[in-house]
Chains A and B, each alone.
Chain A
């Protein structure tokens, strides 16, 4: 258990509304990730962070923004939610350094955009 929580765990929202998902960790891991998981696509990287205020895009970043103002929190924002963003969102963390490739995942957030 890497001390990762996600909030909310479930959310239903309407198209065009802003949504923010929160990932919180308690063990000072340097790297944090946001993924989405959809049937037929597996896990796909949205954005990741390699330190406070240091973020980079993943393969499916369009329509999403992130922020990391503290080591322990990584926020994912959908500025104007669309139905195509209905998905299960997972946060993950990883330590820095050689031989530390293993990522530890949060419990997931199920988002439905109507």
Chain B
């Protein structure tokens, strides 16, 4: 079983819809990261959070440490949001030097 699990693996929605991507983890962590990868593109860090909620534009990331769960929300989704979203954690066991990655969620927003 992977230490970091994302759901869904694939998500297709219409422009304007509210999007939620989930991440569950099974290890103790010091931080959780959300990353974005556009088709054929590089990987960009969106958020790093260890508690509560962070917001950047239309993107909101939340984390519940007790439940070992995080969500990434996109409000008023747009076709340019189409990308793979990757959850990763800094595991207390492996240390701050390494990230443990989920397998990613492929999001497609249709106009």
Contact = CB atoms under 8 A, between A and B. Distances in A.
Contact of A45 (B33, B43, B86, B98): B98
Chain A: interface size category: 20 to 34
B25 interface: no
Interface residues of B, number: 21
Contacts of A98: 96
Interface of B: 30-31, 33, 35, 41-45, 48, 86, 88, 90, 96-99, 101-104
Given A101-B96, A105-B44, A40 B33 contact: no
Interface of A: 31, 40-45, 48, 50, 58, 90, 92, 94, 98, 100-108
Given A42-B86, A43-B86, A104 B98 contact: no
A31 B97 contact: yes
Given A42-B104, A58-B98, 9 more contacts: A43-B43, A90-B42, A90-B43, A92-B43, A101-B48, A101-B99, A102-B33, A102-B45, A103-B45
- Among A40, A41, A103, chain B packs the most CB atoms within 10 A around the CB of A103
